[in-house]
Every structure is written in structure tokens, then in C-alpha cells.
Amino acid sequence: PPTPEPVTPDMPLDRLPAVVIDTETTGLDVDTDRIVSVAAIRLHGSHIFRHVTLDRLVNPGQPIPARATAVHGISTAMVAGAPGFAEILPDLSRFLAAGVVVGHCIGFDLRMIEREAARAGLDWRMPPSLCTMRLAAALFGSADELSLDAVAERLGVSVEGRHTAFGDALVTAEIYVRLLPLLADAGVHSQETALAFAERPRKIIARQRAAGW
């Protein structure tokens, strides 16, 4: 990918450096659950750099509940020799510094990272981010089904590796790329206008904030 330019509010989305991320966790409580896997993929505008990635298992320091393993397939035994989150945060932070962070329900992933950093006593600053769920809701309507699978199907994105951090990050990257021309048709051309557009689905935002992220 090209060397990222400094991101400014008026930077066009077709030149915006971005990093799509996803996490797998022990559960959905951002205050008590832990990260067990994290993945990231570099983008520049609509170009996905599939060879510029980060994909790590993480030892959460506690047993992974069977109900979580049933979703993402990661067991306590699988992460026994994996590094703790504090060990991967420097690499993750360098990766995320390459651009605006994108994800489906990205607030959850960033809140989980923030909590893990706090537990480890490490500095962490929330990066600028765009949520593909909110963008899709603003485009299609909040009453529509907005799960990752549903938005992928609507946009013609093939889903592989579902409920793995890398698989979900790649699906999200494809969704984001397909949203760009639809956003342009809606008059959304820059980072600043995309952030404002993503604030439109108020009910979804309220539910996310009620969940702690």
C-alpha cells in the first residue's frame, strides 16, 4: 500500500487509508470479557491489501466459556501458548496507526481493546473509526437486518471464515468497499461527511451505547 497521508476531515473516501479490524472474545460484556483473537487488514480507498494483515490468537488469562468456543471455535487449549494482549498491543497499535479504523460494530472491538490495554496498564488512545453497520443503517434504513451476514448478502459479498477474526475482517473490508460508491451517490465523499452520516441511525447508536460501547 502507499505510504498513508495524514488523515484530514476533508480527505476523500477514495483516498482514505483505512484498517479493518475484528476481534473474537470470551463474550459480549465489554467490562468483564476478554479478547481471544484479533485480526486487521490494510485498505487504501477501495483497494484491499490482502497480503498486509495481522492475525493473532490471544491468551485471555482465563478459561474460554464453551458457549464462546461454540461460536468462534477457539478453545482454552488453543490459546495456551499464545501471547497475552499486552504482548501484541505494540504491533496492533502500529498497524492501526496506518489509517482510520473500520469495523462492523467497531465500537465493540475498540472498547474491548481499550479495556485490555487498561488492564495491562498500557496507554491506548481511541483512533478515528467508521462503523459499517451504522453506515449501512444510514443508507438502507435502521429497520433492515444489519448483521454482518445480512449486509454482506445485500451487497453481494461472499462470506467465508465466519466468526473468525480474520474471516470477519475480510468480509467487513469487502462490505466497506461496496458501500463506498453507495455513499458517494448519497453525497458522502469525505471522512468528515462519512462520520456525520454514521450518526444518523439514532436507535442503533442508543442500543450500542446502552451496551457500553
Catalytic residue ranges: 163
Q: Which three cell numbers mark 84?
A: 497475552
Quick one: cell of 57? 490468537
Torsion angle in degrees (nearest 10) through CA of 138, 169, 181, 154: -70
What's the chain's Rg over C-alpha atoms?
Answer: 16
H-type alpha helices, 142-201: 148-155, 165-185, 191-197
Residue 109 · residue 92 · CB < 8 Å = no
- C-alpha span between 165 and 162 (Å, rounded): 8
Distance (Å, whole) CA 66 – CA 73: 9
Instruction: Quote the cell numbers at residue 128.
Output: 478515528
> Pairing mode, if any, of strands 47-57 and 35-44?
antiparallel
Q: What would the grid cell of residue 122 be?
A: 498500557
